[in-house]
Amino acid sequence: MSNFMQYAIQLAQMVDGQTGVNPPVGSVVVNDGRIVGIGAHLKQGDKHAEVQALDMAQEKAKGGTIYISLEPCTHYGSTPPCVNKIIEFGLSKVIYAVKDTTLPSEGDKILQDAGIEVEYQPSDEAAMLYKDFFKAKESKIPEITLKVSTSLDGKQATDNGQSQWITNKYVKQDVYQLRHSHDAVLTGNGTVDADNPQYTTRIQDGKHPIRIVLSKSGDIDFSKQMFQDNFSDIWIYTENQSLSSPSEHIKIINLTECKLANILADIYDRGVGKLLVEAGPRVTSEFLQTNYVNQLIIYYAPIIIGGSGQYQFYQTDEVIDLNEATQFEIISTELIHQNIKMTLRKK
């Protein structure tokens, strides 16, 4: 892979989590071996990466090559097709790393008919970036990362409810980065009551995610600190028709049935493309029993808590045979100051 394509992919990775239901894309324009323009799709509804890069390059783009992490679009959406802009600027070659399987595959022909050479240069790194995006676009459900902080014996809290803090401060910093890379963070009202969390990033220039609370009953304690700040909007999903919002940044979303399928479809419709779930055992278990979770991240602290199974992070009503147990593939492990971060995906 060329350094220019690697740079385009890195640009896409840098904006991952801030483009809503649109894909994160990076682009680099090169002429005579020199970079003359760079761009990234910064947010949903904004200019696409190719347009950003070409606007920077201007007349220096003519006769040059554009490297793009994802196949350029051919359709009219919030912005015009990127292939039109590429043709307009007189580029001689287009190189992209991933084919967009969610759109009609006619971009190559349009560009070639305009006399532009097209090269598909596959990249496993870029493919991983878009794998869950393609799945989300097809299902109309956000890309979901489920995060759990736990003891070695799988407890999120002691039997008396003490949970702060099982993992160390360095794990907290890693979680702040996780939140920064997602559009929204989702939890249950029980966790809000028990832990009084804020679900912000606490990093310089960090992007605070939308905060989503599930409460079928609508029994919300609005004195909790999360509801007192204005860092980001809060969405409360409830079946309680009489629940009202005490503040402009708190939105009450009433559903006839607060089932995960209904909630997740509504979240996606509202522009959330990447969702982080940080919740207690009930909500965590509910998600793990579905096929919605793309990625599971578990932070293990080197402690054993013991007690009953009350705060075990995964709980089911029935006993499951070993041959029916959910299988995961370990993608990566990382030692974070004596805590272990394990990233997994369902097999």
d(CA 30, CA 168): 45
138 annotated to a ligand binding site? no
Residue 270 is labelled as binding a ligand:
no
- Backbone φ and ψ for 274, nearest 5 degrees, come out as -125, 120
Task: Return the half-sphere exposure (C-beta side, CA atoms, 13 A cut-off) of residue 212.
Answer: 26
133's tokens: 């995006």
- Tokens 């079928």 sit at which residue? 216
Phi, psi of 199 (to 5 degrees): 60, 45
Question: Torsions phi, psi of 178, nearest 5?
Answer: -60, -45
Q: Is 165 annotated as a binding residue?
A: yes
Task: Give catalytic status of residue 257 as yes or no.
Answer: no
Is 179 part of any known ligand binding site? yes
124 labelled as ligand-binding? no
Q: How many CA atoms lie within 13 A of 149 on its CB side?
A: 20
Answer yes or no: is 195 a known binding residue.
Answer: yes
Q: How far apart are CA 82 and CA 88, in angstroms?
A: 10
* First and final C-alpha spacing in the chain: 29
Answer for the pair 200, 232: CB distance below 8 angstroms, yes or no.
Answer: yes
Where helices occur in 98-139 by DSSP H, the ranges are 107-113, 124-139
Residue 223 marked as a ligand binder: no
∠ CA 231-237-238 to the nearest 5 degrees? 135
Pairing outcome for strands 26-31 and 65-68? antiparallel
Residue of 50, 71, 143, 286 with catalytic role: 50
Residue 316 among known ligand-binding residues: no
- Return binding residues for substrate: 163, 179, 202, 278
- List binding-site positions: 48, 73, 82, 163, 165, 179, 191, 195, 202, 278
Q: Which residues are annotated as a binding site for Zn(2+)?
A: 48, 73, 82
List the catalytic residues: 50
